[in-house]
A and B are shown apart, each in its own frame.
Chain A
């Protein structure tokens, strides 16, 4: 256990559905991240939050919408996704950005 939890662990959704991924960290960290990992591709950083403020949006399509209501929780809202968005979505946290990141187990997303 890394102190970072993600729910759900698996999600199957249609292209017209709206769903949300949840991440929670119990480490007292102040930076949180969303990553996408597609099959046989490098980890791609999507969003960075520091002190609950989004500090970077790494050219991610608007069908992905992050939300950070407090320093312990991070959401990724999904709508009108495409099949190519199927991937493992990983959440991470760190004490200040750039330090050692603690990753959650990920959500395996399949878009039909």
Chain B
């Protein structure tokens, strides 16, 4: 199983760039890497997904090295509203519950 490991928590300040790294040493060839954001008492929300190298959208960038054993979510110029839990998920896209594993997530706190 491609289990993921993330820091439990991170702190930063408004306007800074935040990078959250996720380790997934057992990632399989067919696995994609997906990041979700979750606010308290809400369901997670998709942020970005990638397979290799770099993916960028209007919200974040995702950096994946060649060995794909880790990935880094980069949030540019964070604001207070980015305070949330961020989950890294590795999933092959098959309908297997055992392959869809959300880790403990990283609790990001943004200060003024």
Residues of A within 8 A of B (CB): 2, 4, 31, 33, 35, 41-48, 50, 55-58, 88, 90-92, 96-106, 108
Asked whether, in the complex, the Cβ of A102 is within 8 Å of the Cβ of B96, the reply is no
Asked whether, in the complex, the Cβ of B43 is within 8 Å of the Cβ of A31, the reply is no
Asked whether, in the complex, the Cβ of B43 is within 8 Å of the Cβ of A48, the reply is no
Residues of B within 8 A of A (CB): 32, 34, 36, 41-46, 49, 87, 91-98, 100-105
Majority-rule SS of A interface residues: strand
- Across-interface contacts of A42 in B (CB, < 8 A): 87, 101-105
Distance of A3 from chain B, by nearest CB (Å): 11
Known contacts A42-B102, A92-B43, A105-B42; is A98 also within 8 Å of B95 by CB? Answer: yes
- Across-interface contacts of A100 in B (CB, < 8 A): 34, 46, 49
Distance of B89 from chain A, by nearest CB (Å): 9
Distance of B80 from chain A, by nearest CB (Å): 22
Known contacts A42-B104, A42-B105, A106-B41; is A50 also within 8 Å of B95 by CB? Answer: yes
> Within the complex, which residue of A57, A92, A105 is in contact with B97, where a contact is CB–CB below 8 Å?
A57
Asked whether, in the complex, the Cβ of B98 is within 8 Å of the Cβ of A56, the reply is yes
Asked whether, in the complex, the Cβ of A98 is within 8 Å of the Cβ of B91, the reply is yes
